[in-house]
Amino acid sequence: MKSVKPIPTTSSKTKRAVSCRAAMTALLLVLASGCASAPAETIREAGDASPQDGRNEQAKLVFYSNNGNSEESFNQSFGNALRKKFPNYTIEYIRAATGTSLQDVLASGTKFDIFFTTIGNFERYMIESGMEYDMRELIKKHNVSFSDLDPVYVEYMNGVAGGAIYGFPIQNNVMTLYYNKTLFQKFGVPFPQNGMTWDEAIELGRKLTRQESGTSYVGLTVNPANTANQNQFSLPSVDPSTMTPTINTNPLWKPLFETLFVRPFENEIARTETIRLKKIPDHYTFVRDQTLAMYGYSSGLITALGEEMKQIDWDIAALPAFREKPGVGAQPYPIQMGITSFSENKDAAMTALKFLLSEEYQKEISEKGQMPVLKLESVKQAFGSKSAFSNKNYSALFYNKMASIAFKTPPYGAAIDRFYTNGALQLAQGQTDINTLFRQAEEEATKEINALRQNAK
């Protein structure tokens, strides 16, 4: 780990605990009362102070994420672009590993300037650890504009912390429908198209689910975790007004699970494959085994398994929509970045974040096949143009309207999501029913919430 100045240790644990509890209490009260205060949209008009470009300043910025990504991954996504833009900045990255977990790093007094991870987890760990810092004044000072962000992000930022802004999105992930062109051609089935409903996709999947020459092929599956976290109905896993699980009380969870984890597996071949594989056929089944015809998953697969994706003739279509939500895709799942309360380089950190939100940077990552967060056509049309897969139907990624982001109710939402998806496999295998699954998930999630609330006292 790079050497950095320690956080002053006098009563630091006590202060952090008090800060965490106070922040959590305030946040939960805001969520319960309607989540309204000082909308982020007003910042679009702010910025009376002339922003500093920052290129001629000397500064050291340390980034930390608990996602475990390698330094190479960090550099490819952020570090190289920042060093090129700001040659006088020293950019460092602390990777979460053995001895450098977030808890370890904070306990050692190590400072870092910018924390980043995926939405939901971002708010949870920022607030639990007492690192949260309201960036509104810095945003005004540096004239950071959110006018080019998709409105779904601004809506979320307005509600998640009662007007305070602890972070904002830098890169995104959306769900899309991958398909194996070879299998469609082999079985004489038309390719999936943008604008399908789930009913149409399931029917298409039935035509591809079959056995041939001793090999079983499955027509359609989706990733359970992504499907629940980014659900198209914008269902929160926790009701912010009661702090209770919604899985067994909100009636829209039932058509979601029935459509995606029951109906595609009514075919005995598909159900038997989940039993044989001991999992719902996933991205490895799609890419490596090549026995899965369609798979609903994150757009990040394009870069995560880039080399392996070269071994399959694939393309994408827009994620199918529910009848109840025509034209609405999944919720976005962005990477959020925010300045920590203990950063000593807050102005330089905001200069860096402003650049990462710029058209220049967003177009650069879009060209490489990483999902941008800006709604600019110049950025969207550049997607994948400099990637190894420049001839794909990338319009599919922007075809649907993104579903509104459900409030994550930190720390509870991120902590109980697994209980909602753990039973998807049993459901697909025919070993349980929806009512039993939901009842068990509700019980387990309630226990987890109660334990977290007890620990926070």
Tell me, yes or no, whether 205 and 128 share the same domain: no
Judge if 341 and 295 occupy the same domain: no
Report yes or no: 123 and 161 within 8 Å, Cβ to Cβ.
Answer: yes
Looking at the fold, whether 287 and 433 belong to one and the same domain comes out as yes
What is the 3-class SS of 23-45, one letter each residue? HHHHHHHHHHCCCCCCCHHHHHH
Distance CA 392, CA 377 (A): 17
Does residue 122 share a domain with residue 22?
A: yes
Q: How far apart are the first and last CA of the chain?
A: 33
The one-digit pLDDT tens for each residue of the chain (457 residues) are 444 434 333 334 434 443 444 444 444 434 443 443 444 554 443 333 344 556 678 999 999 999 888 999 999 999 999 999 999 999 999 999 999 999 999 999 999 999 999 998 898 899 889 999 999 999 999 999 999 999 999 999 887 777 899 999 999 999 999 999 999 999 999 999 999 999 999 999 999 999 999 999 999 999 999 999 999 999 999 998 899 999 999 999 999 999 999 999 999 999 999 999 999 999 999 999 999 999 999 999 988 888 899 999 999 999 999 999 999 999 999 999 999 999 999 999 999 999 999 999 999 999 999 999 999 999 999 999 999 999 999 999 999 999 999 988 767 877 888 899 989 999 999 999 999 999 999 999 999 999 988 887 6
Same structural domain for residues 315 and 338? no
Per-residue model confidence (pLDDT) at position 214: 94
| 365 domain-assigned | no
The reply to whether the predicted model has a pTM over 0.85 is: yes
Q: Within a domain: residue 203?
A: yes
pLDDT for 54: 61
Mark whether 66 and 158 lie in a shared domain: yes
State both tokens at 32: 């319960």
Is residue 30 assigned to a domain?
Answer: yes
Instruction: Confirm whether 25 is domain-assigned.
Output: yes
- One-character DSSP codes across 112-177: -SEEEEETTHHHHHHHHTT-----HHHHHHTT---TTB-HHHHHHHHHHTTT--S-EEEEB--EEE
- Are 146 and 34 in the same domain? yes
CATH number at residue 275: 3.40.190.10
Q: Are residues 296 and 165 in the same domain?
A: no
* Residue 31 belongs to domain spanning: 12-173+334-357
Burial profile 2-11: b = 16 or more Cβ within 10 angstroms, e = fewer: eebeebeeee
Q: What's the one-letter identity of residue 341?
A: S
**CB 144 within 8 Å of CB 154:** no
Categorise residue 299: left if φ over 0, alpha if ψ from -120 to 50, beta otherwise: alpha
Looking at the fold, whether 125 and 239 belong to one and the same domain comes out as: no
Whether residue 278 sits in one domain with residue 166: no
Q: What are phi and psi of 160, to 5 degrees?
A: -70, -30
In this structure, what token pair is assigned to residue 261? Answer: 């984890």
pLDDT score recorded for residue 55: 63
Residue 375 is assigned to a structural domain of this protein? no
Residue 183 lies in a domain: yes
